[in-house]
């Protein structure tokens, strides 16, 4: 078969080359199977000449990662740019790569170039895109350059907004218009998640499209492209804006050279350019979500719009755009982030037009930054607009459901339903039975045939989740101060504070007793499990059971490996310790 759009196949080959490298670095067998499976499928289905080209792009994907992660050694003294400052460690850029910085940065600000002296430890982290950790002993400022000036301008703009707007509104404008999300508080981010408009508060393709459309109306194509490029750089060259810029560039200049514009090929070309230069974006959630959203729009926007032809034109366009963008991005977001927002439709319909006004006004304010009178007038206009926005937010928060926590299997089921629907529409009628299989899979996923025990650290508290059949009982060692800490945990019943011994009856064969030891300073939860004729104790403090009769009890010590981060869920660096009680034995699941 000869590909109709070769660029799409090249982009997929390049992307899977990156994924295979990352999987191989974590698990050699899985990486090799992924690579071999892809190449065999391509060999059996694609014309031989194109097969060789796809293999070449696959090899480029692997090579790009090898060069990025492996082909670099740092000296004791290096010139780096601090790109992100966190509480315990920071991120710096050096020679197109990212490194983790450990040590005192003193008064260094984001965007500044500095000389650091210390020791570098190579340590590849594909999820963060970092090549290692630099432990600094000393830090000195370096000369400012163009990028440093951009960061300074952002800080100056934020401080100027603070003169005329409250800090919360200034943070919103900086995030909406210039991608500076570090000023936003967590409560506001959670609100955006619930309303399904989280993509609007960090610069994305939506912002790029708005800015370019305004510019083209005043400046024409060539100058608008140049100014748009500056906007991409100013907002941090995020993959979503780079993708949008490349697609706009191809769209506009394809007409100049009398070539037809193909959106799928343009999307693929932008992916190729980004991944070759920064291969770590292959597993970046924002990057993948941006491309899946755009892919959904390209494939299904017109089809949904035709199906909703009876609606008013503007409403039809907005709903079609929103639904098509969610087609692939929603299941992926659930699989990776572990949560889904079902309030995205009213949120996008009502709030996006207001955000568009703020994006235009915020960028106009940047242009007249030195003209105080005009700047102040624009700030007054934005303040009134934000009042309207807050009112709309309040009303929508009353009617939209809270963010739903979902498992990987739940999202896989949603994706399978979408795929089966598409295949049935294409004439593959056998896939009409796929929902029955998916329903059975969900029952199997959510039903515990044997009791399961999960030990979790809830920040300052110890917690245990006991699952059996459809029931999930959460037991906390002491009261949780912030109820939001429990949002990421699914349970049917909660014991908020374990004061006395609690007996949990799980039918004829199983019984669990939860209790705390008096002399345990950590106040950890201990479980005595009766399974048939056996008795087993799960504990973090085995020293407290030194005098117990080992002929009657088996003691299993639970390592303290779980780590729960409020509002984010379980840290990727840790795992929940799970145990499954099968008949009269306990098996460790991880």
Among 333, 320, 342, 90, residue whose Cα is nearest residue 194: 342
Identify whether residues 467 and 574 lie together within a single domain: yes
Identify whether residues 553 and 468 lie together within a single domain: yes
Of 401, 428, 463, the domain-final residue: 401
Give the tokens for residue 228: 């748009």
DSSP for residue 508: S
Give the tokens for residue 287: 């990057």
Q: Which CATH number do you get for residue 126?
A: 2.40.50
Note whether 99 and 131 are within 8 A (CB).
yes
Among 463, 416, 475, 468, residue whose Cα is nearest residue 446: 468
Identify whether residues 376 and 421 lie together within a single domain: no
> Is there a domain that residue 1 lies in?
no
Identify whether residues 510 and 473 lie together within a single domain: yes
Tens digit of pLDDT for each residue in 466-505?
Answer: 888 878 899 988 887 776 667 667 788 888 888 889 998 8
Residue 589's pLDDT is 56
Note whether 345 and 322 are within 8 A (CB).
yes
343 φ/ψ angles, rounded to the nearest 5 degrees? -100, 15
What is the pLDDT of the chain when averaged over all its residues? Answer: 82
Identify whether residues 223 and 319 lie together within a single domain: yes
546 φ/ψ angles, rounded to the nearest 5 degrees? -65, -30
> Is there a domain that residue 131 lies in?
yes
Of 98, 121, 143, the domain-final residue: 143
Lowest mean pLDDT among 17-26, 120-129, 340-349, 567-576: 567-576
> Is there a domain that residue 558 lies in?
yes
450 φ/ψ angles, rounded to the nearest 5 degrees? -125, 150
Tens digit of pLDDT for each residue in 287-319?
Answer: 888 888 889 889 888 999 998 888 888 888 888
Give the tokens for residue 184: 């936003």
**pLDDT band, residue 1 (cuts 50/70/90):** low
- Angle at CA 375, nearest 5°, toward 152 and 217? 95
Tens digit of pLDDT for each residue in 406-452?
Answer: 777 777 777 788 788 878 887 878 778 777 877 777 777 677 778 88
Give the tokens for residue 84: 């992100």
Q: What's the pTM value of the predicted model, to 2 decimals?
A: 0.75
Residue 564's pLDDT is 35
Alpha helical stretches, state H, 27-139? 28-45, 48-69
The 10 Å Cβ neighbour count of residue 5 is 12
For helices 6-26 and 28-45, give the axis angle rounded to 10 degrees.
Answer: 160
Identify whether residues 340 and 358 lie together within a single domain: yes
Of 344, 366, 401, the domain-final residue: 401
Note whether 535 and 525 are within 8 A (CB).
no
Beta bridge partners of 590: none
N- to C-terminal Cα distance for the chain?
A: 44
Among 437, 434, 457, 454, residue whose Cα is nearest residue 445: 437
Host domain of residue 435? 408-444
Identify whether residues 395 and 466 lie together within a single domain: no
Identify whether residues 62 and 82 lie together within a single domain: no
Identify whether residues 26 and 133 lie together within a single domain: no
> Is there a domain that residue 390 lies in?
yes
Identify whether residues 560 and 513 lie together within a single domain: yes
Identify whether residues 172 and 305 lie together within a single domain: yes
Residue 10's pLDDT is 92
Identify whether residues 59 and 114 lie together within a single domain: no
> How far is residue 547's CA from residue 440's CA, in Å, rounded to a whole number?
47
């Amino acid at each position: 078969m000869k590909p109709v759009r070769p660029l799409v196949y090249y982009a997929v080959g390049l992307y899977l080359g990156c994924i295979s490298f990352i999987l191989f670095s974590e698990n050699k067998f899985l990486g090799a199977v992924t690579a071999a499976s892809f190449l065999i499928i391509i060999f059996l289905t694609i014309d031989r000449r194109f097969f060789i080209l796809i293999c070449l792009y696959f090899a480029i994907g692997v090579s790009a990662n090898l060069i990025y992660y492996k082909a670099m050694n740092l000296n004791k003294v290096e010139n780096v740019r601090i790109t992100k400052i966190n509480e315990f460690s920071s991120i710096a850029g050096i020679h197109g790569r990212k490194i983790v910085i450990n040590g005192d940065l003193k008064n260094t600000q984001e965007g500044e170039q500095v000389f650091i002296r210390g020791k570098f430890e190579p340590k590849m982290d594909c999820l963060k895109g970092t090549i290692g950790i630099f432990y600094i002993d000393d830090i000195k400022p370096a000369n400012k350059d163009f990028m440093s000036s951009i960061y300074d301008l952002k800080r100056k703009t934020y401080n100027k907004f603070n003169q005329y707007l409250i800090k919360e509104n200034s943070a919103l404008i900086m995030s909406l218009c210039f991608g500076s999300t570090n000023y936003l508080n967590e409560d506001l981010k959670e609100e955006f998640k619930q309303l399904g408009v989280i993509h609007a508060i960090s610069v994305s393709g939506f912002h790029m499209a708005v800015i370019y459309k305004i510019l083209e109306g005043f400046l024409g194509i060539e100058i608008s492209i140049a100014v748009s490029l500056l906007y991409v750089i100013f907002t941090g060259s995020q993959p979503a804006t780079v993708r949008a810029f490349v697609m706009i560039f191809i769209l506009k200049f394809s007409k100049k050279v009398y070539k037809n514009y193909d959106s799928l090929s343009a999307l693929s070309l932008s992916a190729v350019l980004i991944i070759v230069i920064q291969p770590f974006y292959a597993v970046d959630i924002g990057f993948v979500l941006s491309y899946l959203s755009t892919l959904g729009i390209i494939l299904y926007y017109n089809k949904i719009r035709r199906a909703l032809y009876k609606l008013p034109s503007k409403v039809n366009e907005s709903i079609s755009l929103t639904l098509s963008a969610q087609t692939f991005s929603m299941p992926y977001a659930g699989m990776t982030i572990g949560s889904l927002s079902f309030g995205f439709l009213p949120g996008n319909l009502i709030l996006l037009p207001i955000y568009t006004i703020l994006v235009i006004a915020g960028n106009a304010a940047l242009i007249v930054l030195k003209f105080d009178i005009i700047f102040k007038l624009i700030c007054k206009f934005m303040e009134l607009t934000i009042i309207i926005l807050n009112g709309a937010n309040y009303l929508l928060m009353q009617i939209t459901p809270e963010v739903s926590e979902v498992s990987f299997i739940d999202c896989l089921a949603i994706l399978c339903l979408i795929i089966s629907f598409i295949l049935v529409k294409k004439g593959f009628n056998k896939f009409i039975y796929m929902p029955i299989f998916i329903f059975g899979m969900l029952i199997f996923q959510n039903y515990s045939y044997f009791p399961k025990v999960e030990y979790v650290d809830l920040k300052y508290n110890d917690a245990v989740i006991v699952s059996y059949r459809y029931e999930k009982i959460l037991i906390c060692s002491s009261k949780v101060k912030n109820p939001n800490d429990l949002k990421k945990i699914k349970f049917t019943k909660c014991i908020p504070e374990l004061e006395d011994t609690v007996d949990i009856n799980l039918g004829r064969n199983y019984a669990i007793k939860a209790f705390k030891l008096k002399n345990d300073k950590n106040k950890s939860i201990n479980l005595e499990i009766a399974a048939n004729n056996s008795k087993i104790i799960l504990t973090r403090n085995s020293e407290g059971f030194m005098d117990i009769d080992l002929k009657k009890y088996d003691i299993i010590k639970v390592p303290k490996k779980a780590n729960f981060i409020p509002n984010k869920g379980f840290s990727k660096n840790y795992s929940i310790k799970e145990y499954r009680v099968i008949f009269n034995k306990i098996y460790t699941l991880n």
